[in-house]
Amino acid sequence: MKKGMENNLAFITANKEDDPHSIKTHSIIWWILSATVWGIVSMMLIVWSFHSYFG
């Protein structure tokens, strides 16, 4: 999955004159947002579980 996003990013940076609202641009933005949300939720669950078991 990461390799595919790297290829999409390379394509977008090579074709900067194209439509900035293309499907590849949106897919990279959604991938970054979902990875960020996944990380935040994971950290919250870890903190919550430690607080439940040790706090």
Higher pLDDT, 48 or 9: 48
Higher pLDDT, 14 or 48: 48
- pLDDT tens-digit map of 5-33: 888 888 888 887 777 778 888 888 899 99
pLDDT for 1 equals: 72
pLDDT for 52 equals: 93
Which one-letter amino acid corresponds to residue 35?
A
Structure tokens at 55: 């706090």
Whether residue 18 contacts residue 8, with contact meaning beta carbons closer than 8 Å, is answered with no
Whether residue 29 contacts residue 12, with contact meaning beta carbons closer than 8 Å, is answered with no
- pLDDT tens-digit map of 31-47: 999 999 999 999 999 99
Q: Would you list the DSSP string of the chain?
A: -HHHHHHHHHHHHHTTTS-TT-HHHHHHHHHHHHHHHHHHHHHHHHHHHHHHHH-
Q: Where do the structural domains in the chain lie, given as residue ranges?
A: 2-14+24-54
